[in-house]
Structure 1
């Protein structure tokens, strides 16, 4: 097996949470995509990061934006995950959402939402890392949606024992 295939296998075997990142473009049109490359960065100030593939159609808009929202998906939102991963779909026409006080599109039902102002972008190979300073947080008491071995699911019950 070549290194790229081995890398993909190892990373695919690492369970991650699933997020949808949203913003608006210069015309006020909502944009969003499914992202699993997401992590916390700092507590003081509160900061997170996520990365976007340079080949994604909304790449330029996300890199230029001064704010975005990260939705940590709940375990009953695999349909939202799939919707925002599809190409050529009216994503926002197919889900429930509202505009926040920070003028960001917020998808209903997420476990949590972190609204951020863009702090910095960092070039990293075929991706761009976006670092955001958290300006607003919504937290619901829900279980997360996980991604593991190219499948979505809930945390198994033994984690709660």
Structure 2
């Protein structure tokens, strides 16, 4: 049969399916330890408890595993890339100078993994140039360590998705801090998607304060220092915060920064931010920067975080109707939802319940 793709193309497509990383280990009749890195591990059944994994028929350890009575699935933790690389290489010394635990039947169990399963060999199923090994789970252990992830030919980090709703509709106990952690992942993703620089800011004791940056990947610009306090009335983060904070919180900053003649413009900035769910500035600070900023709001509708796209005015033209603007709105809504801010009909609102001009 003739296929319309080559092995490289197939490998790339299969690599888009993200998996965990395991090291499967066993012991032979002479009590020697064997192991190899595997990401083809999968659950099969809960009753009876069955799992499977596959191995290349040309693997040096294939004869060992095909005759093994038992094996261990060691699910690696996120800091065990070195173990994954060690057992991905061919060679007789994979266990050299490696501290391990010895389980029942003399099976080698790797230390400090995310989890492990001891399995009894059930059957081997031919699968092209691989053999699928089916095992019945006899013993398990799980730790609090996060698992290592692999996809697209790269090691990845497993974390809660920023678009996922909170479990059981509950807000995490460390809500704002959780949002800050997720916000760092959001700006990294947006920087890669839009090739633009993004900033994360919180409302501090002195006003909007930058806590993280994700620079453009191909056109890096000089980012502002972490910890920088921004003007409230002249920056997109400041406007986004002020549009969704009580007037009593922002008024001292506004009075210190604006003359009476600028109040009308300031009121228009707030109305635009509330109406569109975004704040926009074009070269307000005179340094050539333009920005779009979205607020992240808590259960009371107050802004606790802002996500901002920023760039040189000559290269970045902020627009309220652009794909970037919509991506910012989506990010702001998803993080706000995680903090318990829900508007009408269960949807996050872009307009506050009660806004102070």
Matched, 1:100 2:103: yes
In structure 2, runs of 5+ residues without a counterpart are: 163-181, 183-337, 339-357
CA-CA distance at 1:14 after TM superposition: 1.1
Distance (Å, rounded) in 1 between the aligned partners of 2:61 and 2:138: 23
CA-CA distance at 1:6 after TM superposition: 2.4
Matched, 1:85 2:65: no
Q: Which has the higher contact order (CA 8 A, sep 6+)?
A: 1
Aligned length: 161
Matched, 1:15 2:13: no
Matched, 1:109 2:109: no
CA-CA distance at 1:25 after TM superposition: 1.0
Of 5-14 and 23-32, the range deviating more from structure 2? 5-14
SS in 1 for 2:161: helix
Which of 61, 64, 69 does residue 67 from structure 2 map onto? 64
In structure 1, runs of 5+ residues without a counterpart are: none
Q: CA 1:156–1:140 in structure 2 vs 1: closer, same or farther (change >3 Å)?
A: closer
Q: Provide, for residues 5-36 of structure 1, a one-character-per-residue CA deviation record: whole Å limited to 9, x for no partner.
A: 32111111111100000001111100000000
Does the 8 Å contact 1:69/1:115 carry over to 2? yes
- Larger strand proportion of the pair: 1
Which of 114, 117, 130 does residue 127 from structure 1 map onto? 130
Larger Rg: 2
- Larger helix proportion of the pair: 2
SS in 1 for 2:106: coil
CA-CA distance at 1:57 after TM superposition: 0.3
Matched, 1:32 2:35: yes
CA-CA distance at 1:103 after TM superposition: 1.8
CA-CA distance at 1:59 after TM superposition: 0.3
TM-score scaled by length of structure 1: 0.94
Segments ≥4 residues shifted beyond 4 Å: none
Does the 8 Å contact 1:80/1:95 carry over to 2? no
Matched, 1:42 2:40: no
